[in-house]
Amino acid sequence: MRIKILLLMILATAQLLGVSQKSVEFYVKKYIEKKTNSPVKHVETLSSYVIEGTNGWKVYFLSLEVSVNMNNQFIDKKVNKVVFNKGSKIAFSLKDSQGKDYANILKPKVPMDAYNKKHLLAGNVNAKHKVLVMSDPFCPYCQEIVPKLIEDVQKNPSVFALYYYHLPLLRIHPASDITTKAMHIFQERGQIRKLKQCYHLLVSEKEKNPKVILKAIEEKTGVYFTQKELNNKAIVDALAFDLAMKKRLMVTGTPTIFIDGTWDPTRMKYKELLPRN
């Protein structure tokens, strides 16, 4: 396969056949500091693997803590960077034969700590395949895809273990704030049917009045929550964990689905694993 490389850096030690992860992190740190004139305090490799069909190119997903000068005041910011390496070469863009940049079509692998008991919504923990989904109840694509995904997993518990992460898109769906908190409680209680019902509330995604949203949840699920009940620290911390996982996996939209640790941009590959009747 022919690939195109842009923004290529050749390491100073050109005789090396390969470089270590630490070397990649070091050179990216120096590159960002020189290009932006901002100190990089820390670099962490979130995930790395060899890209199929690229004759040995490897992708690194890096998280950088950068001190950015804003109005003469340095503020620490987390910045994600996708980097490619082969031998002594480091590239910030790598394109396939169709001109698609791998930086836009690859994501980090799911870390094992994401597959925990608290996020197991349906299926068997020892199932053949692990599915991880990040979803917003007011996202139209989520409403179409996620409830059916849950149902398929429930029907095939030996095939799938489904790990559910809440990802409310608050800027465009402010009603998802209260709704996902209620869904988190349903998830903890194992009330999957009520969680799915929250995908079809009779309330606008733009609604900001908690009382209106709580009333819609009650009308759909038969359960009434108070604002105090939904804003307790345990729920806030749980949703913060989900948000941190979203950042770790460099997720930018919903629904985002990973199959056995790998991002599925089609959101439908799990159906290929369903038993054939």
Q: How confident is the model over 38-65, as a mean pLDDT?
A: 96
Q: How many CB atoms neighbour CB 173 within 10 A?
A: 21
Q: Which residue range(s) make up the domain with 25?
A: 4-105
- 101 with 132, same domain: the answer is no
Residues 99 and 117 in one domain: no
| pTM attached to this predicted model | 0.90
Q: Does 49 lie in the same domain as 82? A: yes
| 135 and 248 together in one domain | yes
Confidence at 18, pLDDT banded by 50, 70, 90: low
Q: Copy the structure tokens of residue 226.
A: 């108070």
pLDDT tens for each residue of 179-228: 999 999 999 999 999 999 999 999 999 999 999 999 999 999 999 999 99
Last residue of a domain, one of 79, 105, 131: 105
The total number of structural domains that make up the chain: 2
Task: Select from 84, 105, 126 the last residue of a domain.
Answer: 105
Indicate which CATH number applies to the domain containing 137. Answer: 3.40.30.10
Burial tier of 198 (Cβ tally within 10 Å: 0-12, 13-18, 19+): buried
- 134 and 18 fall within a common domain: no
Q: Among residues of the chain, what percentage have pLDDT more than 70?
A: 94
pLDDT band at 69 (very low <50, low <70, confident <90, very high): confident
Regarding whether 129 and 100 lie in a shared domain, the answer is no
Ramachandran area for residue 225 (φ above 0: left; ψ -120 to 50: alpha; else beta): beta
**Does residue 123 have a pLDDT over 50?**
yes
Mean pLDDT rounded to a whole number for the chain: 93
Q: Report pLDDT for 251.
A: 97
Domain co-membership, 87 together with 144: no
- Mark which of 105, 134, 154 sits at the end of a domain: 105
Percent of the chain with pLDDT strictly greater than 90 = 87
Whether 157 and 228 share a structural domain: yes
Residues 193 and 84 in one domain: no
Measure CA 123 to chain center. Answer: 21
Whether 157 and 123 have beta carbons less than 8 Å apart is answered as yes
Per-residue pLDDT at 240 exceeds 80? yes
